[in-house]
């Protein structure tokens, strides 16, 4: 069969397979979904999506399909166009593989939920929106996917809606994403007005794009990918069930912002201001998140801050003008981060809901498979040579070291890499080793294949994915070939420093000195005081100013001071000054007569 | 009902014991390993035991105040909270599945037929509740002091054949984990 036809058709079949469980129950009463059918659907879609990927790896085939066009205005075309370039072709099977594993895990994790089918349908809706975003060539279609993932994130974080914290977390996610959406809409408006198209490949030109629309795109990425400034929603999003955290807030949704910047990278490539902004923002985000993760005690929050830190690293890569490397990091990160979340989910369920690492210990003996995969995931996260994270993370740090860029961003990123090693090893030591510190003796059982199969599959992916992807994808930019030995081994050395720091901290917790609060601990525990400073201040200011404008500016000023009452006051002032002359004494009046006659006589 | 009811004030003993438990829990949040925690917990216990027999209430209150201030200075920023306690990770998680009991009246007869013995008795229970409601209210009105209730505790049934006040809310409350 002709390759192009095979390529396009298999991609469309993948999308159709994903949409089928949403449509079939509407058509007939008998065809109802169940968790197993949805899992099998996603598995089939994954296998089908391997076809375009194989074709791409074999011959470098890419395609753009333009379907139906929304005939809205004469001059402006909005076609439903889908693009399968190296990014979409690689991301589709990876996202579907991770989703399949997570759905299989969720059949065990959410087994006691009354509305489990609704949960799975929500996850599937999210997947549809995410894949729409990935293969969209048109900014309009991308925006539909963008909003779709935002809404599904809201519904899934607030899954247990009886819980007040879950509702506030969902609201935080939606509001912070909305602020980012403002940037995206502004950029889309600029694109529509200046380039007259929303097709991504038609917007590229060699001339420099003005900075303002690029700022809009960066704002959108800040909101969606939780960079510093719009980051608090990501740790708060851990209120949702663990499969939601694994799928949305580690592998797929939060990379949508970075993916947008990857798609539009030729616009960014010429504008050095935008690139420097990306670099600085990414460096700040990665260090801030790594600092906050050092003192967290909830296992899901540690992994959430780890995600936030890696997203900052991806933003740094965008700032270095290396979109392909950023995409490689997205792909490898998806595997080991999802696996870390699934392992934490297994631990949490086996401990009857306990998420605090202070009350875990010696889990290596009790949950061997889960903890082995947790170790593999943490090693991959730290960038251990030849595991998945190494191929992307080491390359990023090498490139950062060998570029002519600001040293401050470099220093922050290296420090964040050290902290990554520290908190990963700290978490591993507290969770898995030592004597047990659990409060009760729950009956632990991980021998269910629904738990072990997804986790081991993702472990295999964490080990092999980096090697596989780099072997088959040709880089578009030449990587740095020669550098001093210190630069080459910088990443390994600072990771070792981080490991030594973690072991030192573990030793000090064993000594008999009573720990107390200090400034650095407080800064890290309260997440940099950011939530306390901004969450009340900005909303109170906004609402107060809105009220002032509505009541004082409009009612008080316009209707009163500028209008009738102001005129009346002026009149009153004039009248008051002139009433002093109305004394009522004859002498005054005779004096005024005399004065006026004098003036007339003098003037004539 | 079934849990300790609040009174209008705390005794000195209750305050001291609450301080002790609070400080032990925060110590546990600081000292993760059990042997280290046990060492410092014993030291803390000794400090409390030293002042156990102080009979002068003024001095005892001053000691308590100093203890509370020391606790505030040394507390942990993220104390360990049990998952089902207020502030914990599973607190109120299943609140959305706890439906009030009057929804049972709206079930379809085919659904009610799945639990015949319960629904057969349910009408009798509802009739009993309707009859005893006025008596419960009358008892509560008689027993409450003029300037408001002094404690949250509900009184037991006083007369023969009466039911305790507000028993229906207690009897028909949902399970802690509804699934």
Q: Where are the domains of chain A?
A: 3-438+447-510, 535-603
**What 3-state class would DSSP assign to A256?**
helix
When pLDDT is cut at 50, 70 and 90, the band that residue A1 belongs to is: low
User: Is A510 within 8 Å of chain B by CB?
Assistant: yes
Residues B110 and B168 in one domain: yes
Residues B59 and B101 in one domain: no
* Nearest chain B residue (CA) to A166: B93
- Given an 8 Å threshold on Cβ–Cβ distance, is B179 in contact with A112? yes
Pairing type for strands A79-84 and A63-69 reads: antiparallel
Whether A142 has a pLDDT exceeding 90, the answer reads: yes
Give the residue-averaged pLDDT of B9-37.
94
Mean pLDDT of all residues in chain A? Answer: 91
Residues B100 and B164 in one domain: yes
- Given an 8 Å threshold on Cβ–Cβ distance, is B33 in contact with A161? no
Q: Where are the alpha helices (DSSP H) in A351-484?
A: 363-366, 368-382, 388-402, 407-432, 449-472
Considering only CB atoms, A162 lies closest to which of B29, B76, B92, namely: B92
Question: How far is the C-alpha of A55 from the C-alpha of A61, rounded, in Å?
Answer: 7
ipTM of the complex as predicted: 0.86
Residues B49 and B100 in one domain: no
User: Is B176 within 8 Å of chain A by CB?
Assistant: no
Position B3 scores a pLDDT of 61
* Nearest chain A residue (CA) to B41: A514
Residues of B in contact with A298 (CB under 8 A): 89
**Domain range spanning residue B105?**
95-172
* Nearest chain B residue (CA) to A239: B89
Whether A338 has a pLDDT exceeding 90, the answer reads: yes
User: Is B133 within 8 Å of chain A by CB?
Assistant: no
When pLDDT is cut at 50, 70 and 90, the band that residue A298 belongs to is: very high
Min distance B115 CA to chain A CA atoms (Å) = 19
Interface of A with B in 262-291 (CB under 8 A): none
Angle at which helices A407-432 and A388-402 pack, to 10 degrees?
A: 160
Residues of B in contact with A517 (CB under 8 A): 73-77
Give per-residue burial for A485-497: e unless 16+ CB within 10 Å, then b: eeebebbbebbeb
Residues B113 and B144 in one domain: yes
A382-426 pLDDT, tens digit per residue, is 999 988 889 999 999 988 888 877 788 999 999 999 999 999 999
Mutate: best of B83, B87, B94, partner A, most A CBs <10 A:
B83
CA proximity to A131, closest of A121, A144, A119, A145: A145
**What 3-state class would DSSP assign to A110?**
coil
* Residue A510 Cα to chain centre, angstroms: 37
- Given an 8 Å threshold on Cβ–Cβ distance, is B80 in contact with A356? yes
- Given an 8 Å threshold on Cβ–Cβ distance, is A113 in contact with B179? yes
Question: How far is the C-alpha of A507 from the C-alpha of A207, rounded, in Å?
Answer: 57
- Given an 8 Å threshold on Cβ–Cβ distance, is B80 in contact with A522? no
- Given an 8 Å threshold on Cβ–Cβ distance, is B32 in contact with A162? no
Angle at which helices A211-224 and A139-157 pack, to 10 degrees?
A: 30
Whether A206 has a pLDDT exceeding 80, the answer reads: no
Whether B2 has a pLDDT exceeding 60, the answer reads: no
Considering only CB atoms, A510 lies closest to which of B33, B75, B93, namely: B33
Whose tokens are 């794009």? That residue is A209
Question: How far is the C-alpha of A132 from the C-alpha of A177, rounded, in Å?
Answer: 18
Residues of A in contact with B80 (CB under 8 A): 297, 356, 358-359
Spatial contact of A65 and A82, defined as CB atoms under 8 Å apart: yes
- Chains A, B: CB pairs < 8 Å: 72
User: Whole-model pTM above 0.80?
Assistant: yes
Whose tokens are 């509505």? That residue is A550
Q: Which of A52-61, A394-403, A447-456 has the highest mean pLDDT?
A: A447-456
What are the residues facing A69 on neighbouring strands? A79
* DSSP character string of B99-162: --GGGGGGS-HHHHTTSHHHHHHHHHHHHHHHHHHHHHHHHHHHHS-TT--SSSPPP---STT-
Position A190 scores a pLDDT of 92
* Nearest chain B residue (CA) to A517: B74
* DSSP character string of A531-572: HHHHHHHHHHHHHHHHHIIIIIIIIIIIIIISSHHHHHHHHH
User: Is B167 within 8 Å of chain A by CB?
Assistant: no
* DSSP character string of A305-327: HHHHHHHHHHHHHHHTT-HHHHH
Residues of B in contact with A356 (CB under 8 A): 80
- Given an 8 Å threshold on Cβ–Cβ distance, is B80 in contact with A515? no
CA proximity to A228, closest of A176, A152, A175, A154: A176
Question: C-alpha distances in angstroms, A2 versus A8, A52, A55, A448, B58?
Answer: 10, 13, 11, 44, 94
Considering only CB atoms, A512 lies closest to which of B36, B77, B96, namely: B36
Position B86 scores a pLDDT of 92
A265-276 pLDDT, tens digit per residue, is 989 988 999 999
Residues B125 and B61 in one domain: no
Residue B1 belongs to a domain = no
User: Is A470 within 8 Å of chain B by CB?
Assistant: no
Whose tokens are 């998420």? That residue is A355
B32-35 long-range contacts (CB < 8 A, ≥24 apart) are: B32/A358, B32/A430, B32/A437, B32/A509, B33/A434, B33/A435, B33/A437, B33/A509, B33/A510, B34/A435, B34/A437
Min distance A10 CA to chain B CA atoms (Å) = 42
Q: Where are the alpha helices (DSSP H) in A28-163?
A: 35-59, 86-109, 116-135, 139-157
A81: part of which helix (H) or strand (E)?
A: strand A79-84
Considering only CB atoms, B77 lies closest to which of A114, A434, A526, namely: A526
Total domains in the fold of chain B = 2
Interface of B with A in 83-112 (CB under 8 A): 83-84, 89-98
Give the residue-averaged pLDDT of A121-129.
96
Q: What are phi and psi of A80, to 5 degrees?
A: -90, 85
Position A88 scores a pLDDT of 93
Whether B73 has a pLDDT exceeding 60, the answer reads: yes
Give the residue-averaged pLDDT of A110-121.
93
User: Is B82 within 8 Å of chain A by CB?
Assistant: yes
* Nearest chain B residue (CA) to A359: B32
When pLDDT is cut at 50, 70 and 90, the band that residue A589 belongs to is: confident
Whether A90 has a pLDDT exceeding 70, the answer reads: yes
Position A30 scores a pLDDT of 84
Considering only CB atoms, B95 lies closest to which of A163, A515, A517, namely: A163
When pLDDT is cut at 50, 70 and 90, the band that residue B9 belongs to is: confident
* Residue A14 Cα to chain centre, angstroms: 26
- Given an 8 Å threshold on Cβ–Cβ distance, is B80 in contact with A358? yes
Residues B117 and B155 in one domain: yes
User: Is A345 within 8 Å of chain B by CB?
Assistant: no
- Given an 8 Å threshold on Cβ–Cβ distance, is A514 in contact with B82? no
- Given an 8 Å threshold on Cβ–Cβ distance, is B78 in contact with A297? yes
When pLDDT is cut at 50, 70 and 90, the band that residue B63 belongs to is: very high
State what percent of residues in chain A have pLDDT above 70: 100
A190-200 pLDDT, tens digit per residue, is 999 988 888 88
Considering Cα of A186, then A187, then A193, then A197, what sign does the dihedral take?
A: negative
**What 3-state class would DSSP assign to B56?**
coil
Whether B31 has a pLDDT exceeding 80, the answer reads: yes
Residues B50 and B108 in one domain: no
- Estimate the share of chain A in helix, then strand, then coil, as percent rounded to the nearest 5: 75, 5, 20
Spatial contact of A193 and A227, defined as CB atoms under 8 Å apart: no
A523-543 pLDDT, tens digit per residue, is 999 888 999 999 999 989 999
Give the residue-averaged pLDDT of A119-147.
95
Min distance B173 CA to chain A CA atoms (Å) = 16
Whether A441 has a pLDDT exceeding 80, the answer reads: no
Position A557 scores a pLDDT of 80
Residues B63 and B101 in one domain: no
Whether A258 has a pLDDT exceeding 90, the answer reads: yes
User: Is A525 within 8 Å of chain B by CB?
Assistant: yes
Whether A187 has a pLDDT exceeding 90, the answer reads: yes
Q: Any idea what the Cα angle at residue A28 is, between residues A27 and A33, rounded to 5°?
A: 95
A65: part of which helix (H) or strand (E)?
A: strand A63-69
Whether B156 has a pLDDT exceeding 90, the answer reads: no
Interface of A with B in 548-577 (CB under 8 A): none
User: Is B50 within 8 Å of chain A by CB?
Assistant: no
Residue B72 is encoded by which pair of tokens?
A: 């505030």
């Amino acid at each position: 069969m002709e390759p192009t036809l095979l390529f396009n058709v298999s991609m469309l079949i993948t999308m159709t397979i994903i949409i089928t469980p949403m449509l079939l129950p509407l058509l007939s009463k008998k065809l109802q979904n169940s968790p197993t059918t949805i899992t099998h659907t996603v598995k089939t879609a994954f296998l089908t999506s391997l076809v375009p990927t194989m074709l791409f790896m074999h011959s470098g085939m890419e395609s753009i399909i333009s379907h139906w066009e929304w005939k809205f205005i004469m001059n402006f075309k909005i076609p439903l166009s889908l693009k399968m370039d190296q990014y979409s072709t690689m991301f589709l099977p990876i996202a579907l593989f991770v989703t399949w594993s997570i759905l299989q895990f969720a059949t065990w994790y959410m087994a006691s939920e009354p509305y489990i089918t609704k949960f799975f349908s929500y996850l599937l809706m999210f997947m549809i929106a995410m894949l729409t975003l990935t293969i969209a060539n048109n900014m309009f279609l991308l925006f539909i996917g963008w909003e779709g993932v935002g809404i599904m994130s809201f519904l899934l974080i607030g899954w247990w809606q009886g819980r007040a914290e879950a509702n506030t977390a969902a609201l935080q996610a939606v509001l912070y994403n909305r602020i980012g959406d403002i940037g995206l809409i502004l950029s889309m408006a600029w694109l529509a007005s200046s380039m007259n198209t929303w097709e991504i490949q038609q917007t590229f030109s060699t001339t420099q794009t003005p900075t303002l629309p690029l700022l809009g795109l960066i704002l959108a990425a800040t909101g969606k990918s939780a960079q510093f400034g719009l980051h608090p929603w990501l740790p708060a999003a851990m209120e949702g069930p663990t499969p939601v955290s694994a799928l949305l807030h580690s592998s797929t949704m939060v990379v949508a912002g970075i993916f947008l910047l990857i798609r539009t990278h030729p616009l960014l490539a010429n504008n050095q201001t935008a690139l420097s902004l990306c670099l600085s923002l990414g460096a700040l985000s990665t260090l801030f998140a790594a600092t906050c993760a050092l003192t967290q005690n909830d296992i899901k929050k540690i992994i959430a801050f780890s995600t936030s830190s890696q997203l900052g690293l991806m933003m740094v890569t965008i700032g270095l003008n290396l979109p392909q490397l950023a995409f490689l990091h997205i792909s490898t990160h998806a595997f080991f981060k999802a696996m870390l979340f699934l392992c934490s989910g297994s631990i949490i369920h086996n401990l009857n809901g306990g998420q605090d690492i202070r009350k875990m210990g010696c889990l290596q003996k009790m949950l061997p498979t889960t903890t082995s995969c947790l170790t593999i995931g943490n090693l991959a996260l730290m960038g251990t040579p030849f595991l998945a994270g190494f191929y992307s993370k080491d390359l990023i740090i090498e490139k950062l070291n060998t570029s002519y860029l600001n040293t401050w961003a470099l220093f922050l990123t290296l420090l964040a890499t050290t902290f990554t090693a520290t908190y990963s090893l700290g978490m591993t030591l507290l969770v898995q080793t030592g004597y047990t510190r659990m409060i009760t003796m729950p009956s632990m059982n991980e021998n269910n294949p629904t738990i072990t199969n997804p986790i081991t599959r993702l472990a295999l992916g964490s080990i092999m994915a980096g090697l596989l992807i780099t072997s088959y994808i040709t880089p578009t930019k030449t990587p740095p070939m020669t550098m001093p030995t210190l630069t080459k081994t910088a990443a390994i050395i600072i990771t070792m420093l981080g490991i030594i720091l973690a072991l030192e901290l573990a030793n000090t917790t064993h000594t008999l000195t009573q720990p107390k609060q200090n400034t650095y601990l407080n800064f890290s525990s309260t997440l940099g005081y950011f939530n306390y400073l901004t969450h009340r201040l900005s909303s109170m200011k906004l609402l107060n100013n809105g009220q002032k404008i509505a009541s004082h500016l409009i009612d008080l000023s316009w209707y009163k001071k500028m209008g009738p009452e102001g005129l009346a006051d002026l009149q009153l002032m004039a009248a008051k000054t002139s009433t002093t002359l109305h004394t009522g004494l004859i002498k005054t009046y005779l004096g005024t007569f005399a004065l006026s006659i004098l003036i007339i006589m003098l003037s004539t | 009902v079934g849990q300790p009811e609040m009174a209008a004030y705390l005794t000195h003993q209750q305050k001291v014991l609450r301080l002790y438990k609070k400080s032990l829990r925060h110590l546990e949040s600081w000292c993760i390993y059990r042997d280290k925690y046990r060492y410092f917990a014993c030291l803390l216990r000794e400090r409390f035991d030293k002042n156990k027999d102080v009979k002068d209430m003024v001095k005892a209150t001053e000691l308590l105040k100093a203890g509370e201030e020391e606790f505030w200075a040394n507390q942990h920023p993220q104390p360990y909270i049990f998952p089902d306690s207020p502030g914990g990770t599973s607190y109120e998680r299943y609140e959305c599945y706890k439906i009030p009991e009057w929804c049972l009246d709206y079930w379809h007869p085919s659904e009610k037929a799945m639990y015949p013995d319960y629904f057969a008795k349910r009408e009798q229970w509802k009739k009993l509740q309707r009859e005893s409601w006025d008596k419960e209210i009358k008892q509560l009105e008689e027993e409450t002091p003029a300037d408001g209730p002094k404690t949250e505790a509900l009184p037991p049934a006083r007369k023969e054949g009466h039911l305790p006040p507000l028993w229906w809310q207690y009897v028909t409350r949902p399970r802690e984990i509804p699934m």
